[in-house]
Amino acid sequence: MASARDRTGPADAPRICCLDLDTFFVSVERLLDPTLEGKPVIVGGKPGGRGVVTAASYEVREYGVHAGMSITEATKLAPKHTAWLSGRGTTYSDYAQRVRDLAERYSPVIVIASIDEMFIDFTGCERVFACDDDSGPDETIYRTVAELCQAVHDEIGLPSSAGIATSKVVSKVASGLAKPRGVLLVPKGSERDFLGPLPVRKFPGIGPVGEAKLRAAGIETLAQVAATPSNQLEKTFGAWGSHIKRGVLGLGSGDLGRERPTFREHDPAGTTVGSISNERTFREDVNDPSSIESKLSSLCERVCWRARKRGVKARTITLKLRYTDFLTLSRSKTLAPTNSELELFPVVRDLYVQARTRKTPIRLLGLALSNLGLFGQLDLFGASTETLHDVVDDIRTRYGFETMQWATSRKPTKNVRT
């Protein structure tokens, strides 16, 4: 019989799990409509729209379609019988929450990375899950995570994959390679062998730009990154350089780090969110001042409404502007904390005037609130505006955001075309 010490294992054995839901949005859609099973499915946008693909099923990936691809291109590649779905945000959030609740039965230490991905720390859980056999800590955690994935499937109906390693980065790469419906454990000490053959793009944080820079230096695989001196990597990547190298060597942090956004707007704990933003690409590029003005006003209402729902005020407001030719710029202003569109709209107008230096039509407008802070229930100086917001917010909470609008947000009446 194994001793308790054997079961617990060394403290630095693999214990970080990255749990990732496979083609999450597509899987939820299939739960709600089983006739989609086995068919090519695209979530996000409609053929002919200006958007990009949010999620693509494996069946449609075979044709070269992937998340992030423009709808235009996906329309050309996807087969005729593809199901195009526009997606439903709150339903996805509800399912994501159910998976989190389930995962909490396995470990109390969970960090939400995104709607379909979380990190679970199993430190100290080995003893709880250990069986009365000779299995070591690696077998124990592997079996436990496999059970968790099975439970996600049996109880909620969603397919998932998981990676287990000594650090967050390695567990994340492992979960990606485990897809679909797999569990992959990278034993301590074998991180370099595991990552080495992979192209640099597989490493979280290396995107198209980083990949291009590394290629220019003759580096294409993670093994080559591992063999490159840290100071050389730092020249191209700054502080990031040594971070990447440590990760590749398996020396990444085994700490789960800071909590990411929770995606629960009304959750008081959701105040960990560092910014609130809304942006909109116009169906057609615009140039007329009244359309622009009403869009700015409605964006302003939207972000302020979300801030109030969350019980936060912002100190910084940022306006984002994208022209037809994709030139994108931002202008920001820091002021006294507020979440009132009545206070912010004049500032937004000023920022727009500062930003709009060209006559080129506009493709996108966005607003972001940042520098967020909690505020007390009592605000002696803003009492009257707040009462007004309370009334508006109450109606919106009951009947939806669109039911109430300031006059400035009204869309200009269009000329009737004949």
Partner DNA sequence: TCTGGGGTCCTAGGACCC
CB of 319 to DNA, least distance (A): 8
Looking at the Cβ atoms of 130 and 296, the one nearer to DNA is: 296
- Interacting span for DNA (CB under 7 A) from 149-157, 366-374, 377-385, 407-415: 366-374
CB of 134 to DNA, least distance (A): 36
Looking at the Cβ atoms of 52 and 404, the one nearer to DNA is: 52
Looking at the Cβ atoms of 125 and 273, the one nearer to DNA is: 273
Taking CB under 7 A as the rule, does residue 397 contact DNA?
no
- List the interface residues with DNA, window 58-77 (CB under 7 A): 67-68, 70-72, 75
Among 165, 273, 296, 304, binds DNA (CB under 7 A): 273
Catalytic entry in 62, 73, 104, 117: 117
Q: What is the 3-state secondary structure (H, E, C) of the chain?
A: CCCHHHHHCCCCCCCEEEEEECCHHHHHHHHHCHHHCCCCEEECCCCCCCCECCEECHHHHCCCCCCCCEHHHHHHHCCCCCEEECCCHHHHHHHHHHHHHHHCCCCCEEEEEECCEEEEECCCCHHHHCCCCCCCHHHHHHHHHHHHHHHHHHHHCCCEEEEEECCHHHHHHHHHHHCCCCEEECCCCCHHHHHCCCEHHHCCCCCHHHHHHHHHCCCCEHHHHHHCCHHHHHHHHCHHHHHHHHHHCCCCCCCCCCCCCCCCCCCHHHHHCCEEEEEEEEEEEECCHHHHHHHHHHHHHHHHHHHHHHCEEEEEEEEEEEECCCCEEEEEEEEEEECCHHHHHHHHHHHHHHHCCCCCCEEEEEEEEEEEEECCCCCCCCHHHHHHHHHHHHHHHHHCHHHCCCHHHCCCCCCCCC
Sketch the per residue contact string, 242 through 261, with DNA: x for CB under 7 A, - otherwise: ----------------x-xx
Looking at the Cβ atoms of 136 and 204, the one nearer to DNA is: 204
Taking CB under 7 A as the rule, does residue 385 contact DNA?
no
Among 226, 286, 329, 404, binds DNA (CB under 7 A): 329
Taking CB under 7 A as the rule, does residue 172 contact DNA?
yes
Taking CB under 7 A as the rule, does residue 381 contact DNA?
no
Taking CB under 7 A as the rule, does residue 129 contact DNA?
no
Looking at the Cβ atoms of 130 and 321, the one nearer to DNA is: 321
Catalytic residue list contains 117:
yes
Residue numbers annotated as active site: 117
The binding site for DNA (CB under 7 A) comprises 44-45, 47-48, 50-52, 54, 67-68, 70-72, 75, 113-117, 172, 204-211, 238-240, 258, 260-261, 273-281, 284, 306, 315-316, 318, 325-326, 328-334, 354, 363-364, 366, 368, 370-371
